[in-house]
Structure 1
Amino acid sequence: MDKMSNTKNFADRNMYSKRNLWAGILFGLGLVAFFDETVFHQLLHWHHFYDRSTTAAGLVSDGWFHAFSWFATVGGLFLFADLRRRNGFWMKRWIGGILLGAGVFQFYDGTVQHKIMRIHQIRYVDNVILYDVVWNLIAAAMITLGGILVFETRRKKKVKGAGL
């Protein structure tokens, strides 16, 4: 690649900075929700999305949750494809968005849905606090790493007269 096309790619990335972030956030949110539903709801049978009613209501709530995760994932992938088409894709920023979306969703799930709303627990055992701590530590790690990547790819403002 010549120097001119590298400059154009950097300009395209900066122009689509927010779109890269949102594509990653949607994809990450959908991906972690899909993983949660597949592993913890369907394979391990630890809980349903809504456990405060009958098993049938829990299964229906899992269906709605699965649809939500699917729409978020597909939406993120449509934005991803559009960025690739426009030559505006920025891998590091997109991955940062994925980690942020996944981490924020998992933290929301672990605090709001599990503890505040009490619509389900991670697992119904006597010592659930261990599961809660691990769940939220993983969420915090994803948020922290995603935040670092997003911070490293933030758009730099040009300062007048600084010769940048």
Structure 2
Amino acid sequence: MAASSNQHIGQAVFANRNMWSGILFGIGLAAFIDEAVFHLLLRWHHFYDKSTTDIGLISDGLFHAFSWFATIGSLFMFADLRRRNELQLKIWWAGKLIGAGAFQLYDGTIQHKLMRIHQIRYVENVIIYDVIWNVIAIVMIIAGLALVMSKRSKRKSEQEVSYKHG
């Protein structure tokens, strides 16, 4: 029984590492897409729009560095999990969706509305952009949580079968 208990603890530790690797990757990916599409290609805003264009560009550079640190850190975790043969792609994808959605929801609520450091786009009816931005974020979070729940229910049913046969 002790070996089974230790195995479950080990599975939980690696499940957490898979989740955090995915979350960091999701944050980094969402930040990168935000910056590449909305800051650089469309030029709708900068990370910090309450100053000059030069300050906005510097803030974009720092934001870009943050997104790459999160992405690269997550990929080191991913590689370690794969090396240990502990990569659980379903949990990693769940973390990726949760991380990307959480970043986007934080950006859309805290940075856009509470701190007002920038808006998605400077137009008269920005509420349309806000709603779409935050709904997409919530959908990503819900999809990630659904993956986590499906993985947990599958694991629980597998444990029940092993106890019945063991």
Q: Would you call these one fold, judging by a TM-score over 0.5?
A: yes
1:28 positional shift: 0.4
1:17 aligns with 2:2: no
Match of 1:97 in 2: 95
Match of 1:36 in 2: 34
The one-letter code of the counterpart of 1:149 is L
User: What do residues 86-125 of structure 1 show as CA deviations (whole Å, max 9, x unaligned)?
Assistant: 0000011000000000000000000000000000000000
Corresponding residue SS for 1:87: coil
Aligned residues: 153
1:141 positional shift: 0.3
From 89, 96, 118, the counterpart of 2:116: 118
1:64 aligns with 2:69: no
Identity of aligned residues (%): 63
Gaps of 5+ in 1: 1-9
**How many angstroms apart in 2 are the aligned matches of 1:86 and 1:153?**
20
Task: From the two aligned structures, give the one with the greater helix fraction.
Answer: 2
Residue 46 of structure 1 contacts residue 123 of structure 1 at CA under 8 Å; is this kept in 2?
yes
Question: What is the correspondence of 1:39-54 to structure 2 with a 5 Å cutoff?
Answer: 39-54=37-52
**How many angstroms apart in 2 are the aligned matches of 1:12 and 1:86?**
12
Gaps of 5+ in 2: 1-7
Structure 1 stretch displaced more, 107-116 or 144-153: 144-153
**How many angstroms apart in 2 are the aligned matches of 1:150 and 1:50?**
34
Aligned CA-pair RMSD:
2.1
**How many angstroms apart in 2 are the aligned matches of 1:141 and 1:62?**
26
Normalising by structure 2, we get a TM-score of 0.86
Corresponding residue SS for 1:17: helix
Structure 1 stretch displaced more, 103-112 or 144-153: 144-153
1:14 positional shift: 4.7
**How many angstroms apart in 2 are the aligned matches of 1:13 and 1:89?**
11
**How many angstroms apart in 2 are the aligned matches of 1:12 and 1:55?**
50
Match of 1:129 in 2: 127
Normalising by structure 1, we get a TM-score of 0.87
**How many angstroms apart in 1 are the aligned matches of 2:20 and 2:13?**
13
1:13 positional shift: 5.1
From 53, 56, 59, the counterpart of 1:55: 53
**How many angstroms apart in 2 are the aligned matches of 1:22 and 1:98?**
9
